[in-house]
Structure 1
Amino acid sequence: MQWTCPIRTGAQTRPEALALTFANRRWTYRELDAEVGRWVAALQSRGVRPGDRVALLATNHAAVAQLFFALGRVGAVLAPLNARLTRAELQPLSDDVTPRLTLALTGLVERLPGAEPLETFTDTVNTSVPDCAPLEAHSPRVILFTSGTTGRPKGAVLTEGNFRASARASEANLGSHPAPHWLGTLPLFHVGGLGMLTRTAYDGGCLVLRERFEAEDTNRAIDEEGVTHASFVATTLERVLEARKDRPVPSAFRCALIGGGPVPAPLLARARAAGILALQTYGLTEACAQVTTESPDEADGRTAGRPLPGLRVRIVGPGGEPLEPGREGDIEVHGPTVMAGYLNRPEATSEAFRDGWLRTKDVGMLDERGRLTVLSRRTDLIVRGGENIYPAELEAVLVAHPAVQEAAVVGVPDERWGEVPVAFVATRDGAPLPEELGAWCRESLAGFKVPARFLGIEALPRNAMGKIERTVLRERARGA
């Protein structure tokens, strides 16, 4: 199956409809189509051809959206890198991508060697190229880096077909809307942000893009800019409610998708009282974001909902045998939103699939109605405000400190962030815990990964197989 760029389609069918807003600027589909054409001209002038990759380091910006659609027309692939990572963390990701071109927002250029400023990339282009190559279902569109429990980044390759299927499935679950306005506060270097970008374009809607989440600004957008849909995590939803003092939202606001883990029942009730239909979800990068989502007509906040239309979810035991409802096991996913594979990682790709089913390594169970309850987001994964933190990565940084003998990081509940990392550190020769461990970590890790606390320990508890007993450490961290 082939498709035309959705911005070109919108320019032909609803040219004056609003397509994108950012920083007090507005683009209709006709205007955005022309702007994307300028990006196509700029990319072609730099030798970007079908199959090439473009690495990008940026927070949310209108230029990111324009670049994304231009690359689709050229047949090239976007590799957006997490703008919160350090130079040391970014370099191996860029090396994996082997980009034809590297772009970054001006304030981030120094973090990515060889990067050119994103904002001025098209300044010398005066023409808009009408070229618009057809998009195939199997056409790679983005490479998004994610990690397993080992913490080693893997680039998940998502296709045009993945994004199209995800958009169709979400619309089928939420109900159609003549012109949805999605509030874009999720970063465009995450699958959730890209999902909103593509979903609005396919549905003929508008992305109300913001550089970052701010509670007061979010409420202004909801109240004054006709926002119909939004995506939050529990902590941002709570901050929105606090900022608006639980004042009801306009009737045009349809619903909010909630990711990043379960939402406390009192918070869901509080959102409902303000007119926010908060729907819990479960998803992952390798499945193009949403896998299951509560449906508006049966949402009760008790589960992450049913699989989206067109997707299948099963729970399997240790040997891969399907389990009946009510049994706990590994979550596996099948359907058209599942990634093509991992970039340059055939062994990891093979390991990720079982008979065509994506092995998420998350733990959960299905009820009799087919609704999913997620029990564990991978074995040791820590989810802090919607951001994944992998203990192995933090531990590698800690043990590199000359005074540290061994270290283990676990997640503990936190009212604001959902979870925060806590590090247990055994020093060499029983020396006092170094006071500069926080600063040491910040040299190599993004701020959200730095442990909230450092606790000294004589030796890490291990089982008979020599593996660290993280359950013991979690209990000790809670007690501390």
Structure 2
Amino acid sequence: MRVGCPIHEGARRHPEAEALRFAGRGWTFGELDGEVARWTATLEARGMGQGDRVALLSTSHPAVTFLFWALGRVGAVFAPLNARLTRAELEPLVDAVAPRLTLALEPLRDRLPGAESLEAFPDREAASSSRPPEWEADTPRVILFTSGTTGRPKGAVLTEAAFRASCRASALNLGPHPAPRWLGTLPLFHVGGLAMLTRTAYEGGCLLLHERFDADAVNRAIDVEGASHASFVATTLERVLDARADRRLPDTFRCALIGGGPVPTALLTRARAAGLRALQTYGLTEACSQVTTERPDEADGRTAGPPLPGLEVRIVGTDGATLAVGQEGDVEVRGSTLMAGYWNQPDATRDAFHDGWLRTRDVGVTDARGRLTLLSRRTDLIVRGGENLYPAEIEAVLANHPAIAESAVVGVPEPHWGEVPVAFVVLRPGHVLPEDLDAWCRQSLARFKVPAHFVALETLPRNAMSKVERPVLRKRAMSQAVFQAGS
């Protein structure tokens, strides 16, 4: 089935409606369609076509939206890279994608050797493309990188059909809105950010795009620019409420989706007292964002809600058998929003799917109403402020330090970020705990991945199978005053 570009359709149906707003400037659907057509013509002039990959390193910027829709019109695949990563972390991702074109926002180009300037890319003299702005629904649109517990990057391939299905499912859950104005504070290199970009286009709404999260800017968008929906994590929700001193939100604001892990009950109560309807949600990159979300008329903050319309969730045991209500086990998902597979990793793709179900490798439980409570984001995963951290990646960096023989990284609860990583290290003979471990890590890791604390041990605790006993380390970290809440 062929589908049309929603920007082109929007320009035909309501050309004067606002489609995008960034830093005080707005684009109507008609203006956005013209901009996308110019970018499309430039891509065509470069010979970009079906299946070609374009790697991009950028923070959220209007040019990212122009590029995204233009790539769809020529059939090319968008591969956004996390702008927080270091040059060393980016290199294997680019190698995996093998892009025909590499672009970067000008301030970030030094981290991506050979990248062209995103801002200077479109040909100002390019004529509007004559290419019919439509493509097959099963066309791969995006490769989004996510890491397994081993830390090896995997590129989830998301199709046009998956994005459209995700939009439909979310809209059915949230209820009708004539033209939603989504507050885009999540970066466009994350599935959540792309979900908002596509959702507003499909629904004829407007994306209020922010380069980075700023609580005051968020409140201006809510109070002045008519934001109707937003996506937050617990830490950003708290900062929004702090910045507005719990002043009530206007009636134009409908609801906020809260992801990235459990939300404190007190924070949800505070939000609702300010008139901010906060709906907890569970999702993952491989399912094109949301999987379960609280229903607006049933939200109580106790779960991540039931599956979105058209999606199924089940809990299975270690033998793969479906478990009864209330039994803890592995979360599996089935539905039309699932990825096509992992880019160029057939073994990983086969391992992720069975009988049409996606193995999330998260642990959870459902109640009698089908609502999901997530118990663990995989065995060792650390979620810091909504960002996933994988111990194996951090440990690999520490292993290269000349003073360290081995290490183990665990997540410890922290009231502001949800969790922070703590590194336990075994030193080589004759060494003391180095003072440069923080700086050492920052050479290879993004700031949010660097451990909050480093602790020296004589040996790491291990079980009979010689595996590190991370729960023991976690308990030890939390029992020491330096790691306790508020430290």
TM-score tier, shorter chain, comes to over 0.9
- Cα RMSD, aligned residues only: 0.8
Partner of 1:14: 14
* Cα offsets for 1:132-167 (capped at 9, x unmatched): 342222100000000110010000000000000000
* Cα offsets for 1:349-399 (capped at 9, x unmatched): 000011110000000011000000000001100000000000000000001
**Counterpart of 1:383 in 2: which secondary structure?**
strand
Partner of 1:33: 33
The Cα of 1:122 is off from its aligned counterpart by: 1.1
**Counterpart of 1:307 in 2: which secondary structure?**
coil
**Counterpart of 2:429 in 1: which secondary structure?**
helix
The Cα of 1:423 is off from its aligned counterpart by: 0.3
The Cα of 1:323 is off from its aligned counterpart by: 0.5
* Cα offsets for 1:200-251 (capped at 9, x unmatched): 0000000000000001111011100000000000000000000000000110
Partner of 1:241: 241
Query: What code does the residue aligned with 2:75 have?
Result: G
Gaps of 5+ in 1: none
- Evaluate the alpha carbon distance shift between residue 135 and residue 126 of structure 1 in structure 2; reply closer, same or farther with a 3 A threshold: closer
The equivalences for 1:431-470 within 5 A come to: 431-470=431-470
Partner of 1:193: 193
Query: What code does the residue aligned with 1:336 have?
Result: S
Query: What code does the residue aligned with 2:33 have?
Result: D
d(CA) in 1 for partners of 2:122, 2:309: 40
Partner of 1:301: 301
Partner of 2:81: 81
d(CA) in 2 for partners of 1:284, 1:427: 37
The Cα of 1:43 is off from its aligned counterpart by: 0.8
Deviates most, 29-38 or 131-140:
131-140
d(CA) in 2 for partners of 1:213, 1:108: 18
Gaps of 5+ in 2: 481-487
d(CA) in 2 for partners of 1:75, 1:23: 30
Partner of 1:327: 327
Contact 1:11 1:33 in 2 (8 A): yes
Partner of 2:484: none
Contact 2:462 2:468 in 1 (8 A): yes
d(CA) in 1 for partners of 2:56, 2:355: 34
Partner of 2:314: 314
The Cα of 1:430 is off from its aligned counterpart by: 5.7
The equivalences for 1:355-366 within 5 A come to: 355-366=355-366
**Counterpart of 2:283 in 1: which secondary structure?**
strand
The Cα of 1:403 is off from its aligned counterpart by: 0.6
**Counterpart of 2:322 in 1: which secondary structure?**
coil
**Counterpart of 2:361 in 1: which secondary structure?**
strand
- Evaluate the alpha carbon distance shift between residue 230 and residue 435 of structure 1 in structure 2; reply closer, same or farther with a 3 A threshold: same
The equivalences for 1:108-119 within 5 A come to: 108-119=108-119
d(CA) in 2 for partners of 1:439, 1:123: 41
The Cα of 1:123 is off from its aligned counterpart by: 4.3
Query: What code does the residue aligned with 1:458 have?
Result: E
Deviates most, 293-302 or 38-47:
38-47
The equivalences for 1:24-423 within 5 A come to: 24-423=24-423
d(CA) in 1 for partners of 2:9, 2:423: 51
- Evaluate the alpha carbon distance shift between residue 430 and residue 330 of structure 1 in structure 2; reply closer, same or farther with a 3 A threshold: farther
The Cα of 1:189 is off from its aligned counterpart by: 0.1
d(CA) in 2 for partners of 1:46, 1:398: 43
* Cα offsets for 1:299-342 (capped at 9, x unmatched): 00000000000000000000100001000000000000000000
The Cα of 1:467 is off from its aligned counterpart by: 0.3
Q: Identity percentage over the alignment?
A: 71
d(CA) in 2 for partners of 1:357, 1:136: 24
d(CA) in 1 for partners of 2:132, 2:406: 55
The Cα of 1:120 is off from its aligned counterpart by: 1.2
Query: What code does the residue aligned with 2:371 have?
Result: R
* Cα offsets for 1:168-203 (capped at 9, x unmatched): 000000001000000000000000000000000000
d(CA) in 2 for partners of 1:140, 1:96: 16
* Cα offsets for 1:95-145 (capped at 9, x unmatched): 010101000000001101110000111143342214234222210000000
Contact 2:38 2:129 in 1 (8 A): yes
Query: What code does the residue aligned with 1:91 have?
Result: E
Contact 2:200 2:206 in 1 (8 A): yes
d(CA) in 1 for partners of 2:232, 2:52: 33
d(CA) in 1 for partners of 2:457, 2:200: 51
Contact 2:39 2:123 in 1 (8 A): no
d(CA) in 1 for partners of 2:157, 2:132: 22
d(CA) in 1 for partners of 2:137, 2:100: 23
Query: What code does the residue aligned with 1:270 have?
Result: R
Contact 1:294 1:305 in 2 (8 A): yes
Query: What code does the residue aligned with 1:269 have?
Result: T
Contact 1:36 1:70 in 2 (8 A): yes
The Cα of 1:45 is off from its aligned counterpart by: 1.2
**Counterpart of 1:271 in 2: which secondary structure?**
helix
Contact 2:38 2:123 in 1 (8 A): no
Contact 1:143 1:157 in 2 (8 A): yes
Find runs of 4+ consecutive structure 1 residues off by over 4 angstroms.
none
The Cα of 1:50 is off from its aligned counterpart by: 1.0
Contact 1:53 1:98 in 2 (8 A): yes
The Cα of 1:431 is off from its aligned counterpart by: 2.3
Contact 2:8 2:133 in 1 (8 A): no
TM-score (structure 2 length as normaliser): 0.98
Query: What code does the residue aligned with 2:387 have?
Result: E
Contact 2:42 2:126 in 1 (8 A): no
Query: What code does the residue aligned with 2:288 have?
Result: C
d(CA) in 2 for partners of 1:398, 1:176: 50
d(CA) in 1 for partners of 2:161, 2:176: 20
- Evaluate the alpha carbon distance shift between residue 456 and residue 430 of structure 1 in structure 2; reply closer, same or farther with a 3 A threshold: farther
d(CA) in 1 for partners of 2:37, 2:470: 53
The Cα of 1:47 is off from its aligned counterpart by: 1.5
d(CA) in 1 for partners of 2:207, 2:155: 26
Contact 2:394 2:449 in 1 (8 A): yes
The Cα of 1:426 is off from its aligned counterpart by: 0.7
